[in-house]
């Protein structure tokens, strides 16, 4: 199996069609079919299911696909590093950003990279953290910003900052206006939250369980606009950091974006927000896939992100230095 055969197989799986894959890699379909047959003969197992609607990988094919993606990515990184050795940093850098992180850091990152490293081509993937984690585990990203502080066999996190979580919306029956709310007061109230694969959901579940209170999730919404809309319309409350409301640096302190101390922000049309006490915190980490070498370009872009986060911490707002290793996660 050579590099060309690897690229052919990736194209077949990515496009789910021999015809489309042949067009993409600029080879005749019969030749592509022969390459696929040769691979199956080499490994002694079927690599794809063939059907009227195209092809899809078998379990063996999925395993081979993962390994090939890793190999091709390492070949790309090696080539980029060799070409730029002793010269200007260049190459592609693929980064995953959850929606809230993209809003806070996306544009500052793009500006700084364009200014310092004009030969670096950024690929930014914005989505909920669960999907970003999948891309990271598949080694399709150079690194990602994720809200997690625990390592795994596939991912090595580098904590950058932490931020407190707020109750967004007004709990049923609550008439007093306050900048804070006790965690115990959230016992059983209707909540909309990201699904269980998201880092924020894990923090909330862990904190509610530790406090011995009921978590009443009425809908799983992997969409920041939907979470905010549900809170705005009074359908249910949600739990988010202040940065999700478009908080500007220095806005934190009284728990209110409008500065009157009543816990009601103005950045999202007056959605009430209350700091949960004792504090629930989530950790913002730069996450590296262990299976991939770090290219010079990726390291350079990561350093810019570290600088941007450090500036945000210095300016105030919701970001703070990450907790020490001894501090309990999510607190």
State pLDDT tens for residues 136-154.
Answer: 888 889 999 998 888 888 8
At 66 the pLDDT is: 87
Cα torsion for 7, 9, 11, 14, to the nearest 10°? -130
- Please report which residue ranges of 174-223 form alpha helices under DSSP H: 199-211
Separation CA 76–CA 7 (nearest Å): 12
Dihedral sign (CA 237, 239, 244, 249): positive
Question: Structurally, what CATH architecture does the domain formed by 87-160+283-315 represent?
Answer: 3-Layer(aba) Sandwich (3.40)
Separation CA 331–CA 12 (nearest Å): 46
Cα torsion for 212, 216, 219, 222, to the nearest 10°? -20
CB 280 within 8 A of CB 164: yes
Structure tokens at 110: 């793009």
CB 36 within 8 A of CB 12: yes
Structure tokens at 18: 């021999």
Helix (H, G, I), strand (E, B) or coil at 73: helix
At 173 the pLDDT is: 72
State pLDDT tens for residues 93-106.
Answer: 999 998 878 888 89
At 2 the pLDDT is: 84
Higher-pLDDT residue of 131, 258: 131
> How many Å separate Cα 266 from the centre of its chain?
27
At 165 the pLDDT is: 93
State pLDDT tens for residues 244-294.
Answer: 776 543 343 333 333 333 344 433 446 788 999 999 998 889 999 988 888
Residue 116 has pLDDT above 90, yes or no: yes
Separation CA 272–CA 261 (nearest Å): 11
Q: Closest by alpha carbon to 155, among 140, 171, 173, 168? A: 140
Separation CA 234–CA 117 (nearest Å): 46
For residue 138, the 8-state DSSP code is T
Higher-pLDDT residue of 80, 200: 200
Higher-pLDDT residue of 2, 244: 2
Instruction: Specify the range with the lowest mean pLDDT, choosing from 43-52, 196-205, 241-250.
Output: 241-250
CB 143 within 8 A of CB 133: no
Residue 48 has pLDDT above 70, yes or no: yes
Helix (H, G, I), strand (E, B) or coil at 283: strand
Q: Domain-by-domain residue ranges, the chain?
A: 3-82, 87-160+283-315, 163-281
Neighbours of 326 (CB within 10 A): 5
At residue 218 the predicted structure's pLDDT band, cuts being 50, 70 and 90, is very high
Dihedral sign (CA 66, 72, 76, 79): positive
Per-chain mean pLDDT for the chain: 83
Higher-pLDDT residue of 246, 5: 5
Residue 220 CB contacts under 8 Å (≥ 6 apart), including other chains: 192, 193, 194, 195, 196
**Domains 87-160+283-315 and 163-281 equal at CATH topology level:** yes
At 212 the pLDDT is: 96
Average of per-residue pLDDT across 163-169 = 93
CB 240 within 8 A of CB 163: no
At 329 the pLDDT is: 45
* Fold (CATH) for 3-82: Arc Repressor Mutant, subunit A (1.10.10)
Using DSSP bridges, classify how beta strands 120-127 and 91-98 pair: parallel, antiparallel or unpaired: parallel
- Please report which residue ranges of 160-221 form alpha helices under DSSP H: 199-211
Instruction: Specify the range with the lowest mean pLDDT, choosing from 8-17, 36-45, 126-135.
Output: 126-135
Alpha carbon distances (Å) from 29 to 65, 119, 309 = 20, 36, 49
Residue 267 CB contacts under 8 Å (≥ 6 apart), including other chains: 245, 246, 247, 248, 257
CATH class of 163-281: alpha beta
Structure tokens at 129: 């953290």
């Amino acid at each position: 199996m050579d590099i060309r055969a690897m690229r052919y197989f990736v194209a077949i799986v990515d496009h789910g069609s021999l015809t489309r894959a042949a067009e993409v890699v600029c080879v005749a379909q019969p030749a592509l079919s022969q390459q696929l047959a040769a691979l199956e003969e080499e490994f002694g197992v079927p690599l794809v299911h063939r059907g009227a609607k195209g092809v899809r990988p078998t379990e063996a094919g999925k395993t081979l696909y993962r390994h090939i993606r890793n190999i091709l990515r390492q070949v790309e990184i090696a080539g980029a590093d060799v070409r730029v050795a002793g010269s200007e940093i260049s190459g592609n850098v693929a980064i995953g950003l959850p929606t809230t992180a993209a809003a806070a850091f996306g544009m500052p990152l793009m500006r700084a990279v364009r200014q310092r490293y004009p030969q670096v081509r950024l690929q930014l993937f914005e989505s909920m953290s669960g999907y970003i984690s999948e891309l990271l585990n598949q080694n399709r990203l150079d690194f990602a910003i994720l809200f997690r502080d625990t390592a795994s066999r596939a991912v090595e996190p580098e904590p950058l900052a932490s931020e407190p979580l707020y109750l967004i919306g007004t709990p049923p029956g609550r008439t007093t206006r306050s900048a804070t709310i006790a965690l115990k007061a959230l016992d059983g109230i209707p909540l909309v939250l990201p699904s269980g694969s998201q880092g924020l959901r894990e923090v909330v579940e862990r904190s509610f369980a530790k406090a011995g209170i009921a978590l009443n999730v009425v809908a799983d919404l992997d969409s920041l606009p939907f979470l905010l809309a549900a809170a705005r319309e009074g359908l249910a409350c949600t739990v988010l950091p202040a940065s999700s409301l478009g908080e500007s640096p220095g806005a934190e302190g009284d728990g209110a974006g409008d500065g009157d101390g009543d816990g009601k922000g103005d950045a999202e049309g007056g959605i009430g927000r209350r700091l949960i006490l004792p504090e629930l915190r989530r950790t913002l980490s730069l996450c590296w896939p262990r299976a991939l070498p770090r290219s010079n370009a990726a390291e350079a872009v990561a350093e810019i992100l570290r600088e941007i986060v450090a500036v945000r911490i210095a300016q105030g707002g919701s970001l703070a230095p990450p907790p020490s290793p001894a501090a309990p996660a999510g607190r």
